[in-house]
Amino acid sequence: MSTQRDYYEILGVQKKASLDEIKKAYRQMVLRYHPDRVPPEQKKEAEEKFKEVSEAYAVLSDPPKRALYDQYGHAGIDQRYAYEDIFKGADFSSIFEDLAEFGFGGGIFDEIFGDLGFDIFGTRSRRRAPGRRGRDIQINLDITLEEAARGTEKIITVPRYEACSTCGGTGVKPGSKKITCPQCKGKGSTVVSSGFFQLKQTCARCQGEGWIIQTPCPDCRGEGRIRVSRKIRVKVPAGVDTGSHLRIRGEGESGPAGSGDLYVIINVLPHKVFSREGNDILVEKSITLTKAILGGEVEVPTLEGKVEMKIPPGTQSNRIFRLKGKGIPDVHGRGQGDELVRVIVEIPTKLTAEQRRLIEEFARLSGEEVIKESFADKIKRTFR
């Protein structure tokens, strides 16, 4: 990294820029040169640029250091401070909080600043706590519409890794012990000097753990966990829909720092009678022509059994009736949906002579023209 470029030029700001302007410029530069946002072949170059803009920000965001730099340039900084001290006092916290909103965690900063031998606040880097939480597991679960409406309990089989019972999750053969890594002496990292910096890397021998296993457990072969299948009872609340996620804490795979979580993804199977729209259910009900004209009652299916529904006289086909509270309960407890009944008026295709005569009489009384049935049509109707 070149330390002789003008810090204001690096950040693209004027010498009279305010602290807010410097922070804004730094945010933009970090997003532009973040190693996770560039192609792999440009990552090394981006890391160098990232360090360069961070060095510029560390000086220009600290009033005493900025005053020295403005008066003496790089000579004032280099003589007044050791290189690590340049980063002391620089407030990166708000910058990194903003970057977290873009999905950047602390890993990349650990990689970049950790390689320099110190963290972003000027303190010596510490080796990360060994191990990490186990992997989360996702399982798909099919349920019926009735089960979604009422809630249910299911027993599901979950294949996962669990801590080995033989070694207690240590990976070490019973009676043996882990030993300090001879390569990093238990530090979990190795340090290589490079110019002004001390470049720290994760130890390749122990993968940052600081220890190694000489005699691994025969059952898990040193991994500390084994593959098993467990039956887990899942309580499905009323009101779930396809795509609903149920999170069961600690039922994922085991890891050195704790178990992951189990995510159950709900799929509500299609129903042969009802369809669903949100918390409402829809059903079609056929009614006779006379029922539509004269009115009456019809039997309608619901999720709780059949009920009688009134049909007012003069009901048109495709009219929708609402049965309050006969739908799906809201999964968050905010009431219950309705059942929407679409009535379909059936038009008879076969009439007796008397039925036809009465329909024709009705048509004449209504002022409609009645077309007499031809002899050929009568023959066809007779032998139909």
* Superfamily grouping for domain 275-346: Urease metallochaperone UreE, N-terminal domain (2.60.260.20)
CATH tag for 177-214 (out of 2.10.230.10, 3.40.47.10, 2.60.120.10, 1.10.1740.110): 2.10.230.10
What mean pLDDT comes out for the span 204-228? Answer: 87
DSSP string, 32-56: HH-GGGS-GGGHHHHHHHHHHHHHH
pLDDT digits (tens, 9 = 90+) for 255-312: 777 889 999 999 999 999 999 999 999 999 999 999 999 999 999 999 999 999 999 9
Asked whether 266 and 243 are in contact (CB, 8 A), the reply is yes
pLDDT digits (tens, 9 = 90+) for 63-88: 888 888 887 777 766 655 555 455 55
The pLDDT assigned to 202 comes to 82
Query: Residue 194: pLDDT above 60?
Result: no
Query: Residue 326: pLDDT above 70?
Result: yes
What mean pLDDT comes out for the span 365-373? Answer: 76
What mean pLDDT comes out for the span 353-371? Answer: 84
* Residue 330 neighbours by CB under 8 Å, 6+ apart: 239, 279, 336, 337
Measured torsion, CA atoms of residues 186, 188, 193, 194, in degrees rounded to the nearest 10: 180
Which ranges in the chain belong to alpha helices (H)? 7-11, 19-33, 43-60, 63-72, 74-80, 93-100, 107-114, 145-150, 289-294, 353-365, 375-382
pLDDT digits (tens, 9 = 90+) for 126-174: 444 445 788 899 999 999 999 999 999 999 999 998 888 898 888 899 9
**Mean model confidence pLDDT for the chain:** 81
Who has greater pLDDT, 95 or 244? Answer: 244
The pLDDT assigned to 66 comes to 86
Task: Name the residue ranges covered by the structural domains of the chain.
Answer: 7-114, 129-170+220-270, 177-214, 275-346, 353-382
The pLDDT assigned to 112 comes to 43
pLDDT band of residue 110 (cuts 50, 70, 90) is very low
Who has greater pLDDT, 159 or 223? Answer: 159
pLDDT band of residue 92 (cuts 50, 70, 90) is low
pLDDT band of residue 30 (cuts 50, 70, 90) is confident
Query: Residue 44: pLDDT above 50?
Result: yes
Tokens of 215: 């005699």
Give the whole-number percent of the chain exceeding pLDDT 90. 39
The pLDDT assigned to 239 comes to 95
Who has greater pLDDT, 107 or 157? Answer: 157
CATH number at 7-114: 1.10.287.110
What mean pLDDT comes out for the span 225-252? Answer: 93
In degrees, rounded to 5, the angle at the alpha carbon of residue 361 between the alpha carbons of residues 355 and 367 is: 140
Who has greater pLDDT, 21 or 38? Answer: 21
Please give the class, per CATH, of domain 129-170+220-270: mainly beta
Q: 177-214: same fold as 7-114? A: no
The pLDDT assigned to 380 comes to 60
The pLDDT assigned to 384 comes to 58
Give the whole-number percent of the chain exceeding pLDDT 70. 77
Query: Residue 62: pLDDT above 80?
Result: yes
